[in-house]
Structure 1
């Protein structure tokens, strides 16, 4: 008889949520995790970056406090204290996850897991480096503790790691990934960020706030190219106004050693850039290299991601996969919902994952958030659309808040006014996007958004105001000329 009903490999936002849900469904559950619980999100991604971005935001607010009638002298930041606050928050939250797992009766084994069969693994104790001999077992040092674990069902939730940059000099000291950036003990004077997507843009925004001379190199024609085109171009203008150099349509071809490093860039503004630190933010790859997927017979696509169906099942019976390793959407909240779905399916419930409404947020300054179709995607899908926009500058709460940059853009169907996409750049975008996600989920229309009474004065009013603009009935901005 298997030792557990369910074995979850990886304790990130997908894995620990799946484990808790499965335990709530009455299953005997084990989680194998080689680091602190919480995965990349809690330890190296979502939470620590947002903690440091909040420090940067507070610093910026204090340095501009005179605009609010508040005068502060000798304002400075303590980067060591910024990092210490981040570490304290991370520890509190990871300890909280560990406590939740215990409270739900989940067994947690610390170590590296590797398949020895479809539903069996061996776990190498934490502290020992796993070296594999090409066969089904670890080539572990004598005395290293290896534990055999079996389960009726297995969920692979091992997440992702930063992708390698295949250029000369990418392995030089001073070249760091988004994970490695947390090891920086001081703010670099000159920083080059390779990649202008969400990860690169957040780090650029953070270090610029602390005074770094930041250059962002993005190979596409705008920043955050996955976002609506108007949002990406607005962020580029905002970065430029803040003193961040933005090079689009550009590619880093090499990094040369030296003090400072020399970064060679090709494109319209080709040349060499000087950098104390080069931060590589060009994407992530599945963290499956030493998992032994082939031993279990688990198939991957050409990029190495595990292929799953809408119930998160792989092609191997009793083996599921969730989170970044599936390559569907590398977002913590998607991993969590995949975890809930997979656990329910394994527990015998009829559940499926729906990817049609996935909100995303990027915590730059200003923030960005989106859900649903961009204008270009809606047109490409054959929709006839109405596009509505409303600026934060016309919102009373934004004026009192002192944050008037940006706008909300709603993409709706022209005939019925159904909301197809919502795109925000501006204050609290990450919180405001929830209304957009709910609108799409409930198939709401511009009429319904406009007719919903919103509290005043709030930032949330902007959804109603944008909908009224889309109906050609704006109150607080001039109507568009027909």
Structure 2
């Protein structure tokens, strides 16, 4: 019987960070992981998609080299080599995580943990790792028991898996989720993507760049519906202009043999159908009932702002809590939970959570959208600054999009920042810091920004919101 101060179940961006922080706090820590460390983010999500999107970006840039005065002939791509590069990056990072865990004295146990009580778990064989196939990574029925463990504290960090499409034909061969997309050995000639949120939009960008005929179907009235309305509409226009078919306010009713997707009166023929309609928590075979851990009506584990469940000594973090299904939120939750377990009065605040979608152009946001701010009763001012008016964007050759700031009308406090354009995922950090520090439009505008940079866009948007624009005409 293994014994620990803390046993972490799951080695994703929440679990491994929790284990590292707890070890640094002087606790004896074990981590149970059934596959490679790094979880969805490093193995099937954040990192591999961004590696492949970077290849798509390079391909598109080289094809347009003449616009920069550079001549390139016979430009093409090697999809197996793109996948190989992605695999190499993933291996480097997952090996790095494994090395960090070892260096910090964390005991890693390969397997699947199942609670047998509030303080004990059985550990079962991990079984084969379905990296290429499309299927649930957390088995409903674990394999043979190989070990047992007890701990004074637990952190459940088992993450989530893509939800399947609940329509007739949703399980036909060729209907895949984002996990299954990594198993494709060639670019599909025709692909229908169901779901226009971040996952679907990113894969639409990637496959279109490599020459696929792409149709994206979203039941809401715009793409990326969680973002500010202007962002979603701008992405829809951008996709349409580039030749991606965008169907919003539309639902798939069934998929028939031959991969014919029925969307209202439309029938879309596809070689691959990619489903990106949400995620479900990995709680199967965890034995939550044996531990007495409560879940909500969707199956997500209920936690407080210290990541405590209803069972003393049992915490939960990451996607399995359903709070915000983002890797950086999971990591922050992991740090918070580890500090709480180590005796510190740590709490997590979800009011300043940046989000990024790696389409082309990129999308990033933090804080309240314009509609959400008005719904919350704020009297606001909202202003945009276009990248087309920014010198660095011109030299960069990427001028599509804008920075939008939402602020309180009376005091100018920054309530939200929304970016559609180049390097949005990097630029959003200034917005997150501004909201976190309760900065005002005046403070953003008075901060000297380096020139020429894309970062000047935030300052310029603040100036525009103040009615003092420098590089765009004043409103009339």
TM range (shorter): over 0.9
2:386 counterpart of 1:388: no
**Secondary structure of residue in 2 paired with 1:8:** strand
Q: 2:260 maps to what in 1?
A: 262
Give the alignment partner of residue 398 of structure 1, picking from 378, 393, 398.
393
Stretches of structure 1 lacking an aligned partner (at least 5 in a row): 130-137
Gap change, CA 1:47 and 1:301, over 3 Å in 2: same
Q: Deviations over 1:371-426 (max 9, x none)?
A: 00000000000000000110000000000000000000000000000000000000
- Say whether the 8 Å CA contact 2:382–2:407 is kept in structure 1: yes
Q: 2:242 maps to what in 1?
A: 242
Q: 2:447 maps to what in 1?
A: 452
- Say whether the 8 Å CA contact 1:162–1:285 is kept in structure 2: yes
- Say whether the 8 Å CA contact 1:215–1:246 is kept in structure 2: yes
2:41 counterpart of 1:41: yes
Q: 1:77 maps to what in 2?
A: 77
Per-residue deviation, 1:139: 8.0
In structure 2, distance between residues paired with 1:37 and 1:233: 37
- Say whether the 8 Å CA contact 1:2–1:152 is kept in structure 2: no
Counting only pairs closer than 5 Å after superposition, residues 41-440 of structure 1 correspond to structure 2 as: 41-127=41-127, 144=144, 146-258=146-258, 261-266=259-264, 270-440=265-435
**Secondary structure of residue in 1 paired with 2:111:** strand
**Secondary structure of residue in 2 paired with 1:95:** helix
CA RMSD of aligned residues (A): 1.3
- Say whether the 8 Å CA contact 2:404–2:418 is kept in structure 1: yes
- Say whether the 8 Å CA contact 2:142–2:285 is kept in structure 1: no
Gap change, CA 1:148 and 1:65, over 3 Å in 2: same
Return the TM-score normalized by structure 2.
Answer: 0.97
In structure 1, distance between residues paired with 2:418 and 2:5: 42
**Secondary structure of residue in 2 paired with 1:122:** strand
**Secondary structure of residue in 2 paired with 1:3:** strand
**Secondary structure of residue in 1 paired with 2:224:** coil
- Say whether the 8 Å CA contact 1:114–1:122 is kept in structure 2: yes
In structure 1, distance between residues paired with 2:383 and 2:470: 13
Per-residue deviation, 1:146: 1.6
Per-residue deviation, 1:145: 5.0
In structure 2, distance between residues paired with 1:238 and 1:304: 37
Q: Deviations over 1:59-105 (max 9, x none)?
A: 00000110001111110000000000000000000000000000000
Stretches of structure 2 lacking an aligned partner (at least 5 in a row): 130-139
- Say whether the 8 Å CA contact 2:115–2:287 is kept in structure 1: yes
Return the TM-score normalized by structure 1.
Answer: 0.95
**Secondary structure of residue in 2 paired with 1:282:** coil
**Secondary structure of residue in 2 paired with 1:404:** coil
In structure 2, distance between residues paired with 1:226 and 1:349: 34
- Say whether the 8 Å CA contact 1:14–1:337 is kept in structure 2: yes
Per-residue deviation, 1:213: 0.4
- Say whether the 8 Å CA contact 2:22–2:342 is kept in structure 1: yes
In structure 1, distance between residues paired with 2:339 and 2:80: 43
**Secondary structure of residue in 1 paired with 2:26:** coil
Gap change, CA 1:111 and 1:391, over 3 Å in 2: same
In structure 2, distance between residues paired with 1:126 and 1:86: 24
Q: Deviations over 1:233-267 (max 9, x none)?
A: 00000000110000000001111112xx200002x
**Secondary structure of residue in 2 paired with 1:216:** strand
Aligned residues: 466
**Secondary structure of residue in 1 paired with 2:445:** helix
Q: 1:133 maps to what in 2?
A: none
Q: Deviations over 1:442-477 (max 9, x none)?
A: 000000000000000000000110100011110100
